[in-house]
Chain A
């Protein structure tokens, strides 16, 4: 039975069939192309319809599409100004101030949320009955009540429950400053500010011109971190070569903090304390109620989520890892640092970053308590004054999108670096 003579087999053998239009629908190889072209067609149709509507609507309203309003005078004040701003400056400048306020709030909020979250996450695993119950209550209450309510509650706490500045007056005042340095009032919290006797001028960097003093301090700090990294790498090399790890902790402290302290002394840094003048406190740094409500609301709320992430990360590491580390003779501290944490971090970091993203996006709730973030300046007053809601909202979305994509891009880089290398 030779295959060449069997007519049925010859027919069944793969044969190049001529293309037939029905294959566009019934052949798996072509069907996906058909579907995609159809989808592309629908999408373009939809986009054309939307754009046509926008053009028609703009024409009917007698408007143009332009971003010129960004260079017009803003005419409104912003209470929290990280860079120089007054109402004569442009809408663009106001948007920049709002953007910086958003960033400040996001960074401060993430820091608070991380500290609270890590603490709560670890404490929730504590064997101490009352501590773990208390932390559970914190986590459940904050996770299950909307962040907007928390922001409003903290806003009300600051504005309604704190003493008025006038109660700090007199020989026997009803309220007093914490450590003679921090005044918590219903108009905000006043904390000491770091001032310098020597000002090195400003770094001309376009619209944002940071003071040279702070740039220098930041540069020295970063340099210190890198030097410390080198120091530790060196210690590891010595340990690998000789088996004895040189003591590095005091060198680390010296490298990290020494130069910064020297610079602070060199520039003549001193603390300016807030003091009661007239009806209000003056001097120091004024943390406004709007900022505090946002900071505490977002920070404590997101902290509850981070606590769950940290707890989950620690629980995800199987007990065998701890036992293996003990079997190798590692002490509990080293077990945590060398075995558990590196593995737990791999589980913790991605959802942690997405919480940071959520917090950053939630800063747009600032309007609720009058915090002048990007949403309240560009997306609020500027839109109301110029009537440019289309341009303003598009710009606002673009900025938020850029922030989000930057953060998630950084996360992807980190993820690919710590990913399990499977062989």
Chain B
């Protein structure tokens, strides 16, 4: 068969002709320009307008940025160096970056918040990336106590005694669970409460007496800058998710009373601005606590911010729960799972997956809302930028400080939103 042609046709080309190049306007940069920038009258107009905007923005900001001064000691010195030309004075950052980041935290102890932040990433890693071994989660569990000790210092036995309360709860549950699960739950709640009320203080004092270990104590009013934003933001983020889940489940519950309590809590918190809650924390909490009791302002703010974010979180998760088909609930029932097992194994993994974008948006919102603490006198980066401006050296400096603070927030928030996109892609199981 193969030599048929050889006998019938005089010549058969045995290689393809090389394809000729496309016309110049249909290839390379020209084609890309035609398709993406100048595909019509409207598009051409938009392109020209955009180019003008870019040009004006660059012309306004570019020279100012390029001509920046990094070494002056005051704004006046800066202006003397610039000598009338337009230029940024980033020396305020080189001069005051430590305040913007740490507030009035003692400089010799800067390693403590830095180490706490580094350990935070270590603690987060097993939560964020499932490829890591699960045993690392143990470190995540003890991280809050480590972080507290690193940041505030004081006797090492105080966080240990608090942590032991949780250990007591878990032990009580494990022991009593053999008898009855329900009683075990009560035991798990009561054991830590008893420990904290009666034993923890004594334990703390005895152990401190025997073995006085610990870092130098740093008072809360020395905290400030981006450190305070991170402390409030991260505590709020990690606490608001579980509380939000509970509120969402309460709102979905069949129990009329519980449901109405959850609805009232959620709608009340969502209905008022965060700033009124913060003012409640700073001004009114003393009215609601027994006379004479007072506790740390940062802690009060964390509680309020957490409550605020929890209400939003609850609504986000409720959306995820509502989006699940009813068959999932029925399948869980059919398997004979009880309520909590069904939630843990069937409902929540799916509902949380659906609500990831909303959850991360709430996290980002919470982190951005930490800037509001400036109104109740905490020295967050914005509060410190006002303080720096109050100094005669830097009176009248605005943009450089704003750029620095905004960049810090941008990095964290943008990072979070990118991670949520990664997570969504990773958990995507449908093939649309």
Binding site for B on A (CB under 8 A): 25-26, 32, 35-36, 39-40, 43, 50, 53-54, 56-58, 60, 123, 126-131, 134, 140-141, 143-149, 152-153, 156, 160, 361-362, 364-365, 367-368, 375, 379, 383, 389-390, 393, 396-397, 400-401, 404-405, 408
Contact = CB atoms under 8 A, between A and B. Distances in A.
B409 A148 contact: no
Interface of A is mostly: helix
A364 B47 contact: no
Contacts, number: 144
A129 B182 CA distance: 61
Contacts of B399: 156
A134 B48 CA distance: 13
A148 B398 contact: no
B409 A134 contact: no
Given A130-B50, A393-B284, A149 B254 contact: no
B414 A144 contact: yes
Given A127-B36, A130-B50, A400-B272, A389 B368 contact: no
A50 B274 CA distance: 21
Interface string B403-418: 0011001100110010
Given A134-B54, A365-B275, 4 more contacts: A127-B39, A130-B37, A130-B51, A146-B371
Given A53-B287, A134-B53, A361 B272 contact: yes
Contacts of A58: 287
A127 B43 contact: yes
B37 A128 contact: yes
14 contacts: A54-B288, A126-B43, A126-B46, A127-B39, A129-B37, A130-B36, A149-B409, A153-B406, A361-B273, A364-B273, A364-B276, A389-B283, A401-B268, A405-B271
Contacts of A57: 286-287, 291
Contacts of B43: 126-128, 131
Contacts of B289: 53
Interface string B44-61: 001100110110000000
Contact of A36 (B256, B279, B374): B256
Given A128-B43, A128-B46, A389-B283, A145 B271 contact: no
A56 B292 CA distance: 11
Nearest to B48: A130
Contact of A148 (B50, B283, B382, B413): B382
Contacts of A36: 255-258
B271 A404 contact: yes
Contacts of A141: 410
Contacts of A54: 287-288
A139 to B, nearest CB: 11
Given A36-B255, A149-B371, A361-B272, A144 B279 contact: no
Interface in B9-50: 35-37, 39, 43, 46-47, 50
